[in-house]
Amino acid sequence: MERYDVIIMGGGLVGLAFAAALDSAGLRSVVVDPANPEDRLNAAFDGRTSAVSSSSKRMFDTVGISDHFPEPGSPIRIIQVADGLEPGGLAFDPQDDDEPLGWMHENRHIRSALLSRARAGNNITLKFGHKAAQIDRGEHGVTVTLDDGSHVTAPLLVGAEGRNSPLREAAGIRMTRWKYDHAAIVSTLRHEKPHDQVAYEIFYPAGPFALLPMNDDEDGHRSAIVWSVKKKDAPGLLSLSDEDFAAEAEAAMGGFLGRIEMIAPRSSYPLGFHHAARMTDHRLALIGDAAHAIHPIAGQGVNLGYRDAAALAQVLVEGARLGLDLGDAQLMERYQRWRSLDVLMVAMATDGLTRIYGIPGKTASRVRRFGMGLVGRIGPLKQKLMDEARGTSGDLPLLLRGLPI
């Protein structure tokens, strides 16, 4: 019987970040995942990228994840928002001495950094290629029997398995969920003119077109795209040649970055919303997509998961210092209270933006552009929205402030 402080089911981006946060404070965890991430580390770039918010970057710096990145991310200095290609819009442009709004990374580089950090940790055990054959959440602890017959035990079980979390389903936690009539097409392109570390969010009634600055390579300037289109249109766009798809993307961008070409495969995934009625159960806590998933309109999805990880790590570390059982109901209640409102507010805000910008017509467009102009003129409101983009608003856990627990 192997004993740990926490058993983490799921070794994805959020699960491994949580393990690193625990390790940095001396708590022992075991990460169980049926997949072997080594299989994906040496794969060619698949076009998938993620924005790491400023607060998430602070956590990565504090717990030592940033030290393992194969290359630094591309900072996002400005976010430019537009209603189609109409004049006017809104620019989130911090002062020159402010930290960036976020950093763009290839997903494979984030996975590589997290896995290297986990392997370097003194308090992290990785059990990849294994799944749970039996889970017993008893009165005095949790015991997981793995498919090889071995047993691991801990006071607390954490579900970081993604949106189809078996732990959440087994606990009978109710979900609010719906699907959008959208699919997201993601890829990376090269363009003629420099992006100047500006991210663009261009809203169309069919869905937003996001263009996100990546590090330049030896062949030129690069940006990632996340293009939300009507679900029925996605197969047609995916079937286009690279040249024809580049022409469609260039038209959607208005050509402001000059001639473009595709440099990575295109992939697509359906867009939906789900929100767990609660994030805890008896000796169980959920983090990341196991608890919530939102529209990628504001790039906050995985960063919400990192906020979960930082908050739960702080709750557990402070509980351990008080000598409490890490699966104690009062610790679970503290985590639930801390995260539930923030998650709900971000989820509702992204859903609202999706619906507001999906209203067609010139009148709706004029109203939206008037609203963006108003936000641009009201300093405190604009600052509040920039703080939301950075993930630096609200009751921040210590790690998201750049402080050790």
- Mind listing the pLDDT tens digit for each residue in 63-109? 999 999 999 999 999 888 887 777 667 777 777 677 888 999 999 99
Q: Which DSSP helix (H) or strand (E) runs through 19? A: helix 13-24
Global pTM value: 0.89
CATH no. for residue 55?
3.50.50.60
Task: Tell me what the pLDDT averaged over the chain comes to.
Answer: 87
Q: Which domain, by its residues, includes 41? A: 2-177+272-401
Give the 3-state secondary structure percentages of the chain, helix then strand then coil, rounded to 5: 40, 30, 30
- What CA–CA distance (Å, rounded) separates 280 from 207? 34
Reported as a pLDDT band with limits 50, 70 and 90, residue 249 is very high
* Bridge partners of residue 334, in order along the sequence: none
Question: Could you give the C-alpha distances from 149 to 86, 131, 132, in angstroms and in order?
Answer: 62, 11, 10
Residue 307 lies in a domain: yes
- Total number of domains in the chain: 1
DSSP for 105-151, written as a single string:
EEHHHHHHHHHHHHHH-SSEEEEET--EEEEEE-SS-EEEEETTS-E
Neighbours of 196 (CB within 10 A): 9
- Using the Cα atoms of residue 182, residue 187, residue 188 and residue 190 in order, give the sign of their dihedral: negative
- What CA–CA distance (Å, rounded) separates 13 from 114? 7
Lowest mean pLDDT segment, chosen from 39-43, 179-183, 341-345, 382-386: 382-386
Residue 211 lies in a domain: no
Q: 212 CB contacts (<8 Å, ≥6 apart)? A: 49, 51, 76, 104, 199, 223, 224, 225, 226, 299
- CB of 25 closer than 8 Å to CB of 366: no
- Arithmetic mean of pLDDT, 180-202: 91
Residue 28 lies in a domain: yes
- What CA–CA distance (Å, rounded) separates 263 from 269? 19
Residue 234 lies in a domain: no
Amino acid at 113: A
| Structure confidence by residue, pLDDT tens digits, 263-312 | 999 999 888 888 899 999 999 999 999 999 877 665 677 899 999 999 99
Residue 220 lies in a domain: no
- Arithmetic mean of pLDDT, 180-196: 92
The DSSP bridge pattern shows strands 102-106 and 74-76 to be: antiparallel
pLDDT at 261: 94
Q: 359 CB contacts (<8 Å, ≥6 apart)? A: 205
Share of the chain above pLDDT 70, in %: 84
Residue 204 lies in a domain: no
| Rounded (5°) CA angle 251-253-258 | 85
Predicted confidence (pLDDT) at residue 146 exceeds the cutoff of 60: yes
Residue 29 lies in a domain: yes
- What CA–CA distance (Å, rounded) separates 178 from 166? 19
- What CA–CA distance (Å, rounded) separates 246 from 261? 6
Residue 192 lies in a domain: no
Query: How far is the first Cα of the chain from the last one, in angstroms, to the nearest whole number?
Result: 29
